[in-house]
Amino acid sequence: MYIDGAWIETRKTFASHNPANGEILGQAPDGNEIETRQAINAAAKAFPAWASSSAYLRSQLLYRAWQLMIQRKEELARLMSEEQGKPLKAARNEVVYGADFLQWYAEEAKRVYGQVIPAPRADQRFISLRQPVGVVAAITPWNYPMSMLTRKMAPALAAGCTIVLKPAEATPLCAMAVFKIFHDAGFPPGVVNLVTARDPEPVGEEMVSNPQVRKITFTGSTYVGKQIASKAALHVKRVSMELGGHAPFILCPDADPVHAAKGAVLIKGLNTGQACISPNRFLVHRPLVPAFVAELAARTAKLKAGSGLDESVSVGPLISQLALDKVHRQVEDAVSKGAKVECGGHRLSDGGLDKGHFYAPTVLSGVARDMLIWREETFGPVAPVIAYDDEAEILPMANDTEYGLAAYVYTPSLNRAMKLFEGLRFGIIGINDINPTAVAAPFGGMKESGLGREGGQEGISEYLETKLGGFSLG
């Protein structure tokens, strides 16, 4: 662990495994509430000096971390591919994406502005300032084990906050590698702190109950997010939540089904479907279903699964046996209720894949409301196709979920696109676009998909308080 500017060992450790073959990659310290409290104390001690430091100093350190992350891209990508499973090309892209947050917020650190507000009295002046909220506790997921760290750390640090981070128990080595960058960049002791743990509960409990922590930022499941938010509310802590999704992928009646299928297979195969913005329901106008399914299935069947270190592989393993079981349970449930497997639909075991958690990229047609996959987030490489008849059905069907993170629309009509963009109850809408995200753009969801936004100008605002000064000149 990394606490108060030093690497800390513990008597207990836990193993990190390669999901492609089950091999042990290394050991990580197994921390608990004691180490978490130490890290919070260190962050609280470092906060006054860091908060009052020059925005230009904070910017320079973030720039240095950006440079180091780009320099170490290849070694970071290989580690990520081994520990998380994603193909090496995708891992390289994530390292660059993660580094981009450091660069962006190095720039935004110098753009935290206040205001002079007109007062109702001639002898009065109002001035507002934006100041760092305080110690931040961050909890990050395994599916993007480096970029999700920098997406939280960069704006918090730019704002003048200090931070304690707990990474996912499945990917502690990736987090340790990122913190080596912050250490080598020269961040002062206590400003950034890392606590790794096999059991997240004691760490999380300390984070939400410790009065020195003033902000919780979490990315993960909606169920866990609700628990954290409810406990944080008892202490009136600010929270940001990036939670689950159940994204609709809509083909309007005038869409090109072949063109849409090309985009669909790319976004569905992203990170083996283990992405919160991954499409979970493909809503297709019935006359377009045959052409869309044929193209989607043909392209999906060509996806090669295997170890991410193999440059020819496009689909990696699922993160665990539990994830594999969930995906297969959804497919079996759908088939038992009338869905048709167009391709895939089984665990992959040939050629040594039985040692890992591999599931064949799958396309299902004839999916209906009584199936688990209609409601549950899959987090796997399964594309369920749902036919609709009337264009008036699109919005009710798409919005029929407690989630509200991402949605996708294919149509050449500006009129249709604008109506759906405005009517869909989701935080991110891709209009003929399978990648509607960027460091400079706000990322976040509605309803049970989360609170707050990450990225863009909104991202740093999550870590700032507004303070008003009223000055009497009489």
Helices (DSSP H) in 186-220: which residue ranges?
A: 200-209
Q: Are residues 70 and 195 in the same domain?
A: yes
Cβ–Cβ under 8 Å, residues 427 and 405: yes
Amino acid 277: pLDDT: 97
Q: Are residues 239 and 150 in the same domain?
A: yes
Give residue for tokens 């449930």.
333
Q: Please list, in sequence order, all residues whose beta carbon lies within 8 angstroms of the beta carbon of residue 92, skipping any fewer than 6 positions away.
A: 73, 74, 77
Q: Are residues 229 and 269 in the same domain?
A: no
Amino acid 453: pLDDT: 97
Which CATH number goes with the domain that contains 311?
Answer: 3.40.309.10
116 DSSP β-pair partners: 127
Q: Are residues 295 and 182 in the same domain?
A: no
Residue 18 lies in a domain: yes
SS3 content of the chain, % helix, strand, coil (to 5): 45, 20, 35
Which CATH number goes with the domain that contains 88?
Answer: 3.40.605.10
Looking at the structure of the chain, the number of domains it has is 2
Residue 363 lies in a domain: yes
Amino acid 354: pLDDT: 95
Residue 436 lies in a domain: no
**Alpha-carbon distances of 401 from 323, 332, 386, 396, rounded to whole Å:** 22, 22, 15, 10
Q: Are residues 163 and 101 in the same domain?
A: yes
Amino acid 5: pLDDT: 98
Amino acid 474: pLDDT: 80
Q: Are residues 309 and 213 in the same domain?
A: no
Q: Are residues 8 and 88 in the same domain?
A: yes
Q: Residues with catalytic annotation?
A: 242, 276
pTM for the whole structure: 0.96
CA dihedral sign, ordered 420, 422, 424, 430:
positive
What element of type H or E holds 268? helix 257-269
Q: 3-class DSSP state for residue 329?
A: helix
**Backbone phi, psi, residue 95, to 5°:** -60, -45
Q: 3-class DSSP state for residue 139?
A: strand
Residue 229 lies in a domain: yes
Q: Which residues of the chain have pLDDT under 70?
A: none
Q: Are residues 414 and 454 in the same domain?
A: no
CA dihedral sign, ordered 161, 166, 168, 172:
positive
Which range of residues forms the domain containing residue 23? 2-244+447-472
Q: Are residues 228 and 274 in the same domain?
A: no
Amino acid 209: pLDDT: 97
Amino acid 39: pLDDT: 98
Amino acid at 120: P
* DSSP strands (E only) in 362-457: 362-365, 382-388, 406-410, 428-431, 450-451
